[in-house]
């Protein structure tokens, strides 16, 4: 149970980090 929650939490953190990187880099790429 805890292992599944930890895995889901890691996936969520990775998704948030990648999304924030896209939001930061998108204006730089389209400039």
Cα separation, 22 vs 16, whole angstroms = 10
Tell me what pLDDT residue 18 has. Answer: 96
Tell me what pLDDT residue 22 has. Answer: 92
Query: What distances in angstroms separate CA 12 from CA 4, 28, 29, 31, one per listed residue?
Result: 12, 25, 25, 29
Tell me what pLDDT residue 21 has. Answer: 94
Tell me what pLDDT residue 6 has. Answer: 87
Tell me what pLDDT residue 1 has. Answer: 66
Tell me what pLDDT residue 9 has. Answer: 94
Tell me what pLDDT residue 30 has. Answer: 77
**Each residue of 1-31: pLDDT tens digit?**
678 888 999 999 999 999 999 998 888 777 7
């Amino acid at each position: 149970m805890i292992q599944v929650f930890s895995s889901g939490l890691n996936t969520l953190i990775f998704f948030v980090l990648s999304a924030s990187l896209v939001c930061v880099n998108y204006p730089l790429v389209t400039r």
